[in-house]
Structure 1
């Protein structure tokens, strides 16, 4: 069970990956997303969908796109770009049959950059389908970006409060007036 902040909307998508042979002395193939499937496909994970000369397509599994109301500015930035994208996160996994696992997906360019900065994930973008564009646009309209940050005005310093005051010396032995004369001792 996951706890979602108020105003969060989610949508499941399916990810189709392409495994392509490469001519490289260090690796023999590369992975990249090639298609987004809307909804929850009935196929099991890692179902081989198509094959050709040097390439194969696999249904890698489902990912959940989540929209958060405090990130609408990033979503708008994505939609305003020349090619709105969905970023898919793939993670190396030496224990799985294919050596890679679907880790997640997002429409937030900031989140994609954070995953890319870690160095653990392979982050690839794919064109956002029109249905997802409409869904994200509707979410942005119903949750407009937060008001812009306004720097608060500082209160002016009171020069009188900062001025030097004469030092007041406390009187010795105020409670006993007889002890104030040192010559009597």
Structure 2
């Protein structure tokens, strides 16, 4: 599904920074090819349709989508990363969009992106629920059993069997060769 990423530039009261950038919304079924279209402009806040990105759903990730739906407040995760104004880019560029909380968590491990959890629009929510209903299959939990190894077994003096030893492998090193 093509999704428009809405990014807001907001004035803040900070001694070293005048503005902050943040993703604030999405537009389902947005027009392709849009780049930094002005949506609203107020004295302390400017909103842009920064880009149109595609949300992909995968049958292998339905467990993550179910976890998202089970929260009671399903979310879409949007990320922006620093752009290169010298190369003609904006200060921040949309870099990520997903309905999978697991994928969003993986991307938060680095500090390269600012990721926001936003409310899923009703049209996208219906689309996600239909996909999960069609493709999700519950997997039965199988508890792993421990190996039956005697952990109390005493092996005094035994080292790595792959290395030939003529004496105890646990002995302290001698001072031979030192002066």
Normalized against structure 2, the TM-score is what? Answer: 0.74
Residues 59, 80 of structure 1: alpha-carbon distance in 2 compared, 3 angstrom cutoff: same
CA drift at 1:89: 0.9
1:137 corresponding residue in structure 2: 129
> 1:142-166, CA deviations, whole angstroms, 9 ceiling, x for partnerless residues?
1123523424668979xxxxxxxxx
Report SS of the residue matched to 1:101: strand
For these two proteins, the number of residue pairs brought into alignment is 147
Pairing 1:57-136 to 2, within 5 Å after superposition? 57-95=47-85, 96-136=88-128
How far apart are 1:112 and its partner, in Å? 0.7
1:100-124 C-alpha deviation (Å, 9 max, x unpaired): 1110200100111111111111001
Partners of 2:104 and 2:127 lie apart in 1 by 19
CA 1:19–1:80: 2 relative to 1, 3 Å: same
* Alignment match, 1:14: 4
Q: Which residue does 2:171 correspond to in 1?
A: none
Runs of 5+ in structure 1 lacking a partner? 1-10, 158-185
Retained in 1: the 8 A contact 2:6–2:50? yes
Q: Which has the higher helix share?
A: 1
